[in-house]
Amino acid sequence: MSDVYEELFSVRGKTVVVTGGTRGIGYMIAEGYVRAGATVYVSSRKAEAVAVAEASLSKLGTCAGIPADLSTEAECRRLAGEVARRAPQLDVLVNNAGATWGAPIDEYDEAAWRRVLDLNVKGLFHLTKFLRPQLEAASMPDDPARVINIGSIDGIQVPLLETYAYSASKAAVHQLTRHLAKRLAPKVTVNAIAPGPFESKMMAATLAAAGDAIAESAPMKRIGKPSDMAGIALYLASPAASYVTGAIIPVDGGIATVG
């Protein structure tokens, strides 16, 4: 009986891809998986950042890096090919790479929309599409493969800042999660994490300007910690979450309940 419960939350031996795994939330997730005994591939655009993340995560377990710019379909196909060569069976894909853009409404132009939607929505879709054979190959009847998308509470509530493409992209990520969950079942589950505020390059300016106020406004009275993000990612990848699909899970200290 105890063995069953030890396995229930385990990801040991699983193979995982984390996009945008070189810093911020992606690194928090990648570190959680590496420490828990998974083999983790991290990816982002900058080869140097990929090499640095690979080196530091390799001190904790098994990690390799593959650079790719996931804002184009061609690069999503190339990354999927690189992953397939190394790992014909992929247990978990974490679609975390994302970008934001803020500008006053009158200046919010086509380039801003393209920059955000190409990566946050289309890149997530294309990479999932191209890695579906490897995910399905890893799937077992009682332990399906997993896609974990990183949405945002900004896709649930209206944000304070003028980030029109970003909030729309995250609402799209949440609905795409549900749509893909229906299509990819029963071999692959698809869920989304909707983070509140976590320290990262993307959030640095916001937290520097208003970090204390943001923490105070959260029912849990703080911003997120790396272990909060690693914990939900580990759960969603583990046998414990085999029957969970199409879920959007806020990890935000309750902020979305009061916004």
Ligand X SMILES: NC(=O)c1ccc[n+]([C@@H]2O[C@H](COP(=O)([O-])OP(=O)(O)OC[C@H]3O[C@@H](n4cnc5c(N)ncnc54)[C@H](OP(=O)(O)O)[C@@H]3O)[C@@H](O)[C@H]2O)c1
**Site residues (vs ligand X, CB under 6 A):** 19-20, 22-26, 44-46, 49, 69-71, 96-99, 119, 150, 152, 195, 197-198, 200-203
Q: Kindly tell me which of 195 and 253 has the beta carbon lying closer to ligand X.
A: 195
Residue placing its CB nearer to ligand X in the complex, 33 or 139:
33
CB of 28 to ligand X, least distance (A): 8
Q: Please, which residue, 98 or 253, has the CB nearer to ligand X? A: 98
- Based on the residue annotation, tell me whether 166 is a catalytic residue of this protein: yes
Q: Which residues pair with 39 in a beta bridge?
A: 15, 62
For the CB of residue 154, give the shortest distance to ligand X in the complex, in Å. Answer: 7
- Rounded to a whole number of angstroms, the CA Rg of the chain reads 17
Close Cβ partners of 123 (under 8 Å, ≥ 6 residues apart): 19, 70, 71, 72, 76, 95, 97
CA distance 217 to 254: 9
Q: How far apart are CA 187 and CA 246, in angstroms?
A: 13
Catalytic residue among 27, 33, 41, 166: 166
- Beta carbon of residue 249, minimum distance to ligand X (angstroms, whole number): 12
Question: Which is closer to ligand X, CB of 139 or CB of 163?
Answer: 163
Three-class secondary structure of residue 259 per DSSP? coil
**Least distance (Å) between residue 140 CB and ligand X:** 29
Phi-psi region of 246 (alpha: psi -120 to 50; beta: other; left: phi over 0): left
Element (H, E) at 213: helix 204-217
Q: Which residues are catalytic?
A: 166
